[in-house]
Chains A and B, each alone.
Chain A
């Protein structure tokens, strides 16, 4: 059953990644671009766990993902600081 769920996870991860790339390319709004990159981030985490489940790894995906989520938090805060500065200067969230 684990293998079947892992294959499902790989497929769902690929679909989520594609949707994230679509959102990234199809928007001029800086916040939506950030949100689309977060979808890609989630799909990457799901792919890592699905692949690790197939390979029989326990700790490697957990350690990798803990670091990735922590860096993701830092990335969101830094990106949001940049968005606030952009909004103060341009009074808009649209990028050219």
Chain B
């Protein structure tokens, strides 16, 4: 295994640990503003891990940081400033960790069964923005229209909320 591969595995493990720690921080933090900041670290770590999976996925990785981290999470964090009393009352649900563990094990077993007999692909075709655009416009035009309408209604909703009367 070359040095570059070792670096990639090391980086992947590092950002995987960061994402898990940030996710635990979100679930344990009493102040939800800081929890929203933790979501930035989860988003960036996931984007880096996706980019490390394959260079063809780098385009989406940039998209994830720009749109998800840059707008969704920042919107959440900034909007939370409007509220007073952001501290969360701690509650203890004894069966929550058990249910989370069972669901995690079930998903893991499902993945093991699904991918056990599959031989990993040798290589992935290189990414082309033109092919992606053709793919969306020819095969996925209907979901694209739905997304456009949904974003438009979101904009109308934001304007309605911003008006005080």
Interface residues of A (CB under 8 A from B): 1-6, 8-12, 14-23, 25-29, 31-32, 34-36, 38-39, 42, 45-47, 49-51, 53-59, 61-63, 65-67, 69-74, 76-78, 80-81, 84, 87, 92-94
Contact = CB atoms under 8 A, between A and B. Distances in A.
B85 A16 contact: no
A81 B43 CA distance: 22
Interface of B: 1, 5, 8-9, 12-13, 16, 19-20, 23-24, 26-27, 32, 35-36, 38-39, 42-43, 46, 49-50, 52-54, 56-57, 59-60, 63-64, 67-68, 71-73, 75-76, 79-80, 82-83, 85-86, 88-89, 91-93, 95-97, 99-101, 103-104, 107-108, 111, 115, 118, 120-127, 131-132, 135-136, 140, 143-144, 147, 150-151, 153-154, 157-158, 161
Contacts of A10: 111, 115
Contacts of A12: 16, 19-20, 49
A61 B43 contact: no
A42 B89 contact: no
B154 A29 contact: no
8 A-B pairs with the lowest CB-CB distances in the bound complex, closest first: A56-B121, A18-B104, A23-B27, A22-B100, A3-B120, A25-B96, A26-B96, A12-B16
Contact of A81 (B38, B56, B97, B157): B157
23 contacts: A2-B53, A2-B124, A5-B52, A16-B23, A17-B104, A17-B107, A18-B104, A19-B27, A22-B97, A23-B26, A28-B88, A38-B42, A45-B64, A46-B49, A54-B118, A56-B120, A56-B124, A65-B60, A65-B64, A72-B68, A74-B150, A77-B75, A93-B32
A73 B79 CA distance: 14
A60 to B, nearest CB: 9
A25 B93 contact: yes
B68 A46 contact: no
Contacts of A66: 60, 63, 136
A78 B135 CA distance: 29
Given A56-B121, A74-B150, A28 B91 contact: yes
Contacts of A26: 27, 91-93, 96-97
Given A14-B111, A81-B161, 16 more contacts: A2-B120, A2-B124, A5-B9, A14-B104, A19-B20, A21-B100, A25-B100, A39-B26, A50-B53, A59-B131, A62-B127, A65-B60, A69-B67, A69-B72, A70-B150, A77-B75
